[in-house]
Amino acid sequence: MPITIDDLRRHAVRRTLFDPTTLGRAIAKLGFVQADPIRSPARAQDLTLRHRVKDYRAGDLERRYARLGVEEDFFVNYGFVSRELHALMHPRTPRAVWSKARWKQAQGVLEFVREHGVVHPREVDAHFAHGKTTNWFGGSSNATTQLLDEMHYRGLLRVARREGGVRLYAAREQTPPPIDPRAAHDALIDIVVAKYAPLPAASLGQLMSHLCGGAPQWRGERAAALTRAKARLAKERIDGVDWYWPADERIPRRRGEGDATVRLLAPFDPVVWDRRRFELFWGWAYRFEAYTPAPKRKLGYYALPLLWRDEVVGWGNVSVDGRGLKTEFGYVAGASPRDAAFRGALADEVDRLHGFLGLAQAG
């Protein structure tokens, strides 16, 4: 039988929501976990990992980061990457050329960091007093914070750990150039595909563009790398759309429903990250509205896609107040699924959220 869009959807859900494992193994399997500072009810990285790590609690990644062998860095977005992936992106071409004065500032900060080991941005600022600067949004930012960000992106510094959400920095050993740059570039693309597959052709191209943020040194090789990727990946044309996924994966032609589980997903979870694929799979438009003016929001400030079996049937807004966990749900069909098992599965998911957040359950 030919592969259908339903086959792709089921496979996408099952391959990405693998059996829960250890935190280190989950990150290695994912390759990259996108981060977001908003906590509603927890940060996106925690909301992503809780479905894939046994007994995961909000904040575990930050608490255990220094022992995990992972790095904070920019890949296709900013987040947490395996050390292997981190090495593939460096040495990285800078986004902007530094003046001699800027290099002198950076060299002074680097010497300070090497002398002190691990530093908090306020220690660096207190020592150098770089003052204020204009940020990307036209406002005023701490100039030291901006310099540390630039040094981190260039690979001069690494994030050693966080304290209260603030990045603490250490000097980073430089990565030698790859022996085979083309092979390194292809390996990065394969990691992208393994995380987000199966992918429509347009989304594959979009992710290749995002990858230029993590590995800008290969921006000029994007077209050739995309051609090589399409040649080695598995491919199927369905309803006029070309889909790609790793060549060693077979798409099961299975009928029937997925497991009777409800999952509230992070807005950046790999199941739902690709909004183009989302609409092809589920037939409606999910939007992240945290930065949308409140009167224009349709789903809510931080609406979490609501996955039931293999279908995203709606969304949930979850928050924590003085009385505990507050939940509000909306459904694409206007009402919750009629499946008798859904109500109990949703209650189980809310119970899991209580444990994840370290909250006592009501009643």
Domain ranges of the chain: 100-171, 262-357
Q: Work out the burial of residue 294: count CB atoms within 10 Å of its CB; fewer than 13 is exposed, 13-18 middle, 19 or more buried.
A: exposed
Q: Is 102 helix (H, G, I), strand (E, B) or coil?
A: helix
**CATH of range 100-171; options 1.25.60.10, 1.10.8.60, 3.30.565.10, 1.10.10.10:** 1.10.10.10
Residue pair 121/112 in contact (Cβ under 8 Å)? The answer is: no
Give dist(CA 52, CA 28) in Å, integer: 12
Q: What is the pLDDT along the chain (363 residues), one digit of tens a residue?
A: 899 999 999 999 999 999 999 999 999 999 999 999 999 999 999 999 999 999 999 999 999 999 998 999 999 999 999 999 999 999 998 878 999 999 999 999 999 999 999 999 999 999 987 555 544 444 445 788 899 999 999 999 999 999 988 999 999 999 999 999 999 999 999 999 999 999 999 999 999 999 999 999 999 999 999 999 999 999 999 999 999 999 999 998 876 667 899 999 999 999 999 999 999 999 999 999 999 999 999 999 999 999 999 999 999 999 998 778 999 999 999 999 998 899 999 999 999 999 999 997 755
Q: What is the pTM of this model?
A: 0.93
Q: CA 262 → CA 12, 259, 268, 337, distances in Å?
A: 16, 9, 17, 11
* One-character DSSP codes across 206-243: HHHHHHHHH-GGGGGGHHHHHHHHHHHSEEEEETTEEE
Q: Which residues are 167's β-sheet partners?
A: 162
Contacts of 257 (CB under 8 A, 6+ apart): 309, 310
Pair 148, 124: CB distance under 8 Å: yes
Extract the runs of DSSP E, i.e. beta strands, from 28-91.
32-34, 70-74, 78-82
Structure tokens at 241: 């759309």
